[in-house]
Amino acid sequence: MSNFSVGYFVGSLAKASINRRLAKALVRLAPDSLEMREIPFGSLPLYSYDYDADYPPVAREFKAAIAAVDAVLFVTPEYNRSIPGGLKNAIDWASRPWGQNSFTRKPSGIIGTSPGKIGTAVGQQHLKSILSFCNSPMMNAIEAYIQFTPDLISEDGEVSDASTRDFLTNYMQEFSDFIGRVYTALPRSA
């Protein structure tokens, strides 16, 4: 079994984000084959192509963090039937300048939670469209739209509901297997 490093993005910048709780749960439930590390993006300025000739240090560090992992996982809420603006800004930084897209051939997964009945389904579909343009191979199944209830996930990532815990454990195993399949078909360059 291969080991993979996974950089994860918490789409919400809010300190009390329920998606941060979900991310903590996923880190806890990830198989031993995945080394999980957060890639923060809250300090990035708003992207403009004016920066393309000379990226600021914070943006270079951000792109280096993505380059240092084998795959990326987006744990994001849905804002107005899309993704949060901060996450879109981070994707814009990572995908530029032209020809230096950090997501090209980088396996990705998307998951999110919301109090609503459809979870983050519409926002995830929008994110899939963006990542498709960025040439990121995406795990399209299992889809995961988690309806958040007040006691579902504790502050430290403990999942109270056994069926949700089992689902998330399986999701992370499937993501590990997906990463392996991507790199079987698209070997990494040395």
Q: What is the pTM of this model?
A: 0.96
Domain-located, residue 17: yes
Domain-located, residue 158: yes
- CATH code, 8: 3.40.50.360
Q: Is the pLDDT of residue 128 over 80?
A: yes
Q: Is the pLDDT of residue 75 over 90?
A: yes
pLDDT of residue 39: 98
d(CA 17, CA 159): 15
Note whether 115 and 147 are within 8 A (CB). Answer: yes
Domain-located, residue 137: yes
pLDDT of residue 188: 78
Phi, psi dihedral angles at 117 (to 5 degrees): -65, -30
Stretch (H or E) spanning 5: strand 4-10
> How is residue 148 written in tokens?
């958040």
Confidence of residue 2 (pLDDT cuts 50, 70, 90): confident
> How is residue 3 written in tokens?
């080991």
d(CA 160, CA 176): 23
Mean pLDDT of 167-175: 98
* Per-residue model confidence as pLDDT tens digits over 23-49: 999 999 999 999 999 999 999 999 999
Confidence of residue 96 (pLDDT cuts 50, 70, 90): very high
Q: Is the pLDDT of residue 14 over 90?
A: yes
Domain-located, residue 190: no
Helix axes 85-94, 121-133, angle to 10 degrees: 10
Residue 52, domain extent: 4-185
Domain-located, residue 11: yes
Domain-located, residue 177: yes
Instruction: Please count the structural domains in the chain.
Output: 1
Q: Is the pLDDT of residue 1 over 90?
A: no
